[in-house]
Amino acid sequence: MILIFGGAYQGKLAYAMERFALTEEQVYRCSAEDIGIPCDKRVIYGLDQWILALVRADADIVEQAGQFMKAKEDTIVICNDISCGVVPIDDTLRKWREETGRVLAILSQRSEEVIRLFCGLPSQIK
């Protein structure tokens, strides 16, 4: 697994598309309303939105992340880093932020590569 993370609008998907010569058909765009992720896509984009859908569904996020990692070992995962800024007052959004951090920590430990994008510039973390 390859994990690419960074702030919103930093060029994460464009970087992945260019570096790995991907097509749009290989990308699954996560939705905050859908907890299912198809197995036939090479790129999972917007993992933070999938985590928000899990939080809203009151799912066991660590368990779901474990199942996700088993099924997606050869996948490029792209996630917004939502850990900076003001902590949300809303309980759901605060839990989303916390769970996204937990999932990123788990994924980064198990990924072959971890890349952080900031201002369109990649930094190899692992």
Residues whose CB is less than 8 angstroms from the CB of residue 76 and which lie 6 or more positions away in sequence, other chains included: 1, 2, 4, 16, 20, 22, 42, 43, 44
Of the pLDDT bands very low, low, confident and very high (cuts 50, 70, 90), residue 10 is very high
Of the pLDDT bands very low, low, confident and very high (cuts 50, 70, 90), residue 32 is confident
Look at residues 42, 55, 51 and name the one whose alpha carbon lies nearest to residue 13. Answer: 42
pTM recorded for the entire structure: 0.90
Of the pLDDT bands very low, low, confident and very high (cuts 50, 70, 90), residue 39 is confident
Q: Three-state SS for 75? A: coil
- State residue 60's pLDDT score: 87
Q: How far apart are the first and last CA of the chain?
A: 12
CATH 3.20.20.370 fits 2-124, yes or no: no
Domain ranges of the chain: 2-124
